Structure 1
């Protein structure tokens, strides 16, 4: 090509870019959004994210721009809330304004605003109200769900004993045990640990968690218009969710074929009955799509978050043997070896309660939170957030806020203990988020963590041939979820 023509072409490209950038920059600065790094056209603030470290990068930006700043995912402005006070002001003090569910491009193609987790407006209100009532009717927060967890804990003990002290990756067996509790409520039955179809589903959950948290998953969240056309592991997320939905659809068909509206067996039965009652109500949100996607929401959330927290907890207790020994002593004193733990024991076991809270705080399983959106034009700390703007209230910055926790980056149960050794609450303890969008299953998760962990420690000492370092137990702080490193451990029976 003629050098003159090439030079003219390059000059035209540079001038075009400068004009686009200038126009973009003026539009960007006209808004009364919170401050933040200046975005580029198309890719937004992508270049401000260290490769594969979205969470760490956003945390660092909070130090530079303050507790409320704007960050562009492609051309979408996202308001980031950093630290306990900013998150509390938004989700509690102005909870209604911030009560919408934001976009998650990695899963939005399938959920598309349906299901209790990803819906908004009247749909969300109907589904959440129904789900809370139905889960409560099936024992959530009551004695009956406690008994289900206790029974599952005994099944878990049996399965662990079969390992006979041999090293094992605890991921599958913990996920199966935890999942069986929510399965008993949603599907009306538990699954045997040797059920290969069930194990395959559990592995799909974990794979989704890992993919969404990977560098590819982070790019999918930030620049979906580009990543939709780029081959890579992130393209597996939707096919995996489709396979999980197929399983849920099979279960729904089984329930429909054997339904007795006067005697509901599980959550699905109750939803189908509600659908039949409201089939002529044009404003009803009780339809097959919401049923399938809400059941998948409950199934996924009720499996992966608690089992991932337990895996973090085992790793921490193997590293900190002195903490495990103190827990063994407290269990022996309060419960002994002749009966199973029950939820009433928790109030008499401040050290166990503090350790579980600290495991949740330190492992920080969902560091970015699930995105929110403002449901109306909102004034917040002097800034204007237009209706429909997505908001990320960073749970990681709340759980690691130095004004709330003395040693935020270290595992320290004393964060939840007073001077006399009693359990001490913290308003900044928000692993389940807070406000109107707080996790539906908070009560169930807290009960599971206490009963599963206490039952296992009552019967076993947790060990590993690997000498773990502090960096091994620290959460990765990369994308959507903090998944612990893969590790092998042994369960050594304790002598009665």
Structure 2
């Protein structure tokens, strides 16, 4: 006869056996922290979470290890050799994007970032081709960036050397570059809808890698119905989508798709060309998601990087002075600088690269999904496993960088002062899933940074010895809000 006690014991026994059976079935995974029911081994990261959490795990478990996010195994590759072996040498095995509940809701498996298979291949190929057509590396979008840089300089000049928060004007400038790329026009920084778009992007991007994001991925069926930041994040997503839909409709009604001027024009033309192709994935749903992808991937990342660069210039005045001296000697009073001029200023190039390395803005590299069973370094990585290349571990690897924990532009210079491109610099990822917007980001950073350094000397406000260099830790790691003084230079443009 079953008693309540024996029934509970039987249920616990069955659950324990199922848990042990699952553990045994996954025994060939790389080692990792103790896996617990429900939460897996993620507890190890959540306890005293920091930017170095993944690097510390590699010290305990080796350069290939497993973290269990609930029932989901996540294999982490740490250090250059391990990451290179996975996403470069075996790139074709890691060409898929894993779909967590939050990112599935965010991307709906459309567009470029959150799609896989044939859909992803077509969207990425089209994106790359269209970026080139829009003039990346030539004079097309560069002209728009230069114009936006001029407005940004004016905004800093209006502060007349008094302390100002650079985050908002820089974010406005970067967001407007994406508007020019996708919509064909920029907005006034006082435009109410534009400001709502910027704020919606803040809400969405800054929700990621928070405890609420983690809880949403563990319990999506519950979190969907509870109040909290996840509701604000999805409200932000809906506003961005609504904003993009309006622009798409304007292009359909008044655009000139047969004389395309921007990404939407090119895409609408491609939809028309592909109508009779049964394998075509070109449709308005994918167009909408591609536009959302550009904004979510291209605003917070570039604006945070530029904010870090200015902060570092204020904290390292000797480096700032060398950059300004080089720019002045090479360009003099010339008004315009273009990306093609980068080779003329090796020290400035090194400073931009070192800013990207020293203040790497992500927790880790872009997650991948293994598309076939694979053995790497003696470990079995099964098809469907989520894989994380820990790029941060590479950028702070002591055997690679002379002073990994210090801001040191010499990491990218040889003994003669020539710029050196480092194989280990994987800031924008690598392999088939490398960042589509890398070239755009590089152009923006160069033009904005050099324009601002020609025009101003950046200093901490009076009474502040050094601006806080600790980041806000989430998926994208911006600096804490800070103020800076932009002191006009006599020879500034």
The separation in 2 between residues aligned to 1:117 and 1:24, in whole angstroms, is 34
- Asked whether 1:23 is paired with 2:18, we answer yes
Is contact 2:174-2:302 (8 Å) kept? yes
- Asked whether 1:188 is paired with 2:184, we answer yes
- Asked whether 1:301 is paired with 2:292, we answer no
Greater shift, 294-303 or 447-456, is seen at: 294-303
1:353-374 Cα distance to aligned partner (Å, 9 max, x none): 1110011111111232221101
- Offset of 1:106 from its aligned partner? 2.5
- 1:121 aligned residue: 117
The separation in 2 between residues aligned to 1:11 and 1:323, in whole angstroms, is 72
1:323-356 Cα distance to aligned partner (Å, 9 max, x none): 1112121112112234332323321211111110
- 1:61 aligned residue: 57
1:174-217 Cα distance to aligned partner (Å, 9 max, x none): 11212222221210111122223212211221232222143323
- Asked whether 1:371 is paired with 2:370, we answer no
- Offset of 1:52 from its aligned partner? 7.1
Instruction: Provide the secondary structure at the position in 2 that maps to 1:211.
Output: coil
User: CA 1:158–1:388 in structure 2 vs 1: closer, same or farther (change >3 Å)?
Assistant: same
- Among residues 259, 265, 269, which one is paired with 2:261 in the alignment? 265
Gaps of 5+ in 1: none
Is contact 1:172-1:202 (8 Å) kept? no
Instruction: Provide the secondary structure at the position in 1 that maps to 2:206.
Output: helix
- 2:150 aligned residue: 154
Greater shift, 381-390 or 73-82, is seen at: 381-390
The separation in 2 between residues aligned to 1:412 and 1:222, in whole angstroms, is 40
- Among residues 388, 398, 401, which one is paired with 2:397 in the alignment? 401
- Offset of 1:15 from its aligned partner? 6.4
- Offset of 1:439 from its aligned partner? 0.6
- Offset of 1:221 from its aligned partner? 4.3
- 2:483 aligned residue: 488
Normalised TM-score (structure 1) = 0.92
Instruction: Provide the secondary structure at the position in 2 that maps to 1:384.
Output: strand
Is contact 1:53-1:479 (8 Å) kept? no
- Offset of 1:310 from its aligned partner? 0.4
Is contact 1:87-1:394 (8 Å) kept? yes
- Offset of 1:159 from its aligned partner? 2.3
Instruction: Provide the secondary structure at the position in 2 that maps to 1:491.
Output: strand
Greater shift, 26-35 or 133-142, is seen at: 26-35
1:365-413 Cα distance to aligned partner (Å, 9 max, x none): 1232221101122222222222111111112112112221122222211
- 2:474 aligned residue: 479
- Offset of 1:266 from its aligned partner? 1.2
- Asked whether 1:178 is paired with 2:180, we answer no
Matches within 5 A, 1:342-361: 342-361=338-357
Is contact 2:264-2:287 (8 Å) kept? yes
- 1:312 aligned residue: 308
- Among residues 38, 42, 49, which one is paired with 1:42 in the alignment? 38
Is contact 1:157-1:456 (8 Å) kept? yes
The separation in 2 between residues aligned to 1:396 and 1:14, in whole angstroms, is 46
- Among residues 363, 382, 396, which one is paired with 1:386 in the alignment? 382
- Asked whether 1:169 is paired with 2:165, we answer yes
- Offset of 1:241 from its aligned partner? 0.7
- Offset of 1:161 from its aligned partner? 1.8
Report the number of matched residues: 489
Aligned-pair Cα RMSD in Å: 2.3
User: CA 1:263–1:427 in structure 2 vs 1: closer, same or farther (change >3 Å)?
Assistant: same
- Offset of 1:322 from its aligned partner? 1.6
Gaps of 5+ in 2: none
Is contact 2:315-2:467 (8 Å) kept? no
Greater shift, 43-52 or 322-331, is seen at: 43-52
The separation in 2 between residues aligned to 1:172 and 1:64, in whole angstroms, is 41
The separation in 2 between residues aligned to 1:199 and 1:253, in whole angstroms, is 21
Structure 1 moving runs of 4+ over 3 Å: 8-19, 218-231, 466-471
Instruction: Provide the secondary structure at the position in 2 that maps to 1:96.
Output: helix
- Offset of 1:300 from its aligned partner? 2.4
- Offset of 1:219 from its aligned partner? 3.8
Normalised TM-score (structure 2) = 0.93
The separation in 2 between residues aligned to 1:467 and 1:225, in whole angstroms, is 50
